Amino acid sequence: MLRDTNIEFRFRVYVKEEPYLGIGRIELLENIQKFGSIAKGAGAMNMSYRKAWQLVEDMNRLADRPLVEKRLGGSNGGGACVTEEGLEVIRKYQELEKEVRQFIDHKAQEIRF
Amino acid sequence: MLRDTNIEFRFRVYVKEEPYLGIGRIELLENIQKFGSIAKGAGAMNMSYRKAWQLVEDMNRLADRPLVEKRLGGSNGGGACVTEEGLEVIRKYQELEKEVRQFIDHKAQEIRF
């Protein structure tokens, strides 16, 4: 039996039962890193600035150390950068994603839905 | 560093890019098995009969062999039962879920978000 099947998965990290990291938040961190700004990072993924700001606040609060450093003020709402801790979190998330992907692909060959 | 973190995950099986199995569909199959009826199985999870019927149609179409056998007619829309194939699919899904759960729990100890 060879069927055209594939398995998609998602995972979320919670801290004290609160959502901390998911695919959308990781993408937001990557975009902030890329554009050096929460507003531009959010805009690149069609997320409102308000929403992005709230997510950054939540992540910073739940992290051991802030993931994003905000620079307030300026005509476009100030810049922002992802901290070392933030870059490490992105890396860990992507590492886990890759490993789970490999695990599921391997298992799927045995299980065959 | 010991923080109160946990990781939740979900996966979906697709056949030819079409959704085939997910946590909701597996729960529906379990409920149909439990109540012997699509209507009652759907009701137990606050799903409309119409929606449940459509999901069963989709799964049966995408599976190698039907997962649910419907008996039409009767005052309450007829009974239904989960086939051997359907029970096997439930078992496989739960097995993969358990194995991915163990894998993620193990990895999370190394990664430490």
Question: Which chain A residues have a beta carbon less than 8 Å from that of B96?
Answer: 7, 104, 107-108, 111
Predicted local confidence at residue A71, as pLDDT = 79
* B109 min Cα distance to partner chain A (Å): 11
% of chain B surpassing 90 pLDDT: 85
Over residues B1-24, mean pLDDT: 91
Nearest Cα to A62, choosing from B18, B4, B22? B4
Cα-to-chain-centroid distance, residue A86: 10
Over residues B56-69, mean pLDDT: 96
| Optimal mutation site among A1, A4, A5, A21, interface B, most CBs of chain B within 10 A | A5
The answer to whether B61 faces chain A, any CB pair under 8 Å, is no
Specify whether the CB–CB gap between A1 and B15 falls below 8 A.
no
Number of Cβ within 10 Å of residue A91's Cβ equals 11
Mean pLDDT (chain B) is 92
Read off the pLDDT of residues A50-105 as tens digits, 9 standing for 90 and up: 999 999 999 999 999 999 998 776 665 569 999 999 999 999 999 999 999 999 99
In the predicted structure, residue B6 carries a pLDDT above the cut 80: yes
Over residues B3-16, mean pLDDT: 93
* A108 min Cα distance to partner chain B (Å): 8
% of chain A surpassing 90 pLDDT: 85
Over residues A45-54, mean pLDDT: 96
Among chain B residues, CA nearest to A111: B92
Over residues A34-54, mean pLDDT: 95
Over residues B38-66, mean pLDDT: 96
CB spacing of B3 vs A92 below 8 angstroms: no
Predicted local confidence at residue B38, as pLDDT = 93
Predicted local confidence at residue A52, as pLDDT = 96
CB spacing of A14 vs B21 below 8 angstroms: no
- 3-class SS of residue A73: coil
Over residues A9-28, mean pLDDT: 96
Predicted local confidence at residue A75, as pLDDT = 60
Among chain B residues, CA nearest to A6: B14
* A68 min Cα distance to partner chain B (Å): 16
d(CA B44, CA B47): 8
Place of tokens 């993620």: B104
Predicted local confidence at residue B80, as pLDDT = 94
Band (pLDDT 50/70/90 cuts) for residue A3 is confident
Predicted local confidence at residue B86, as pLDDT = 98
Interface predicted TM-score (ipTM): 0.86
| Optimal mutation site among B10, B64, B96, B99, interface A, most CBs of chain A within 10 A | B96
Strands B18-21 and A18-21: unpaired
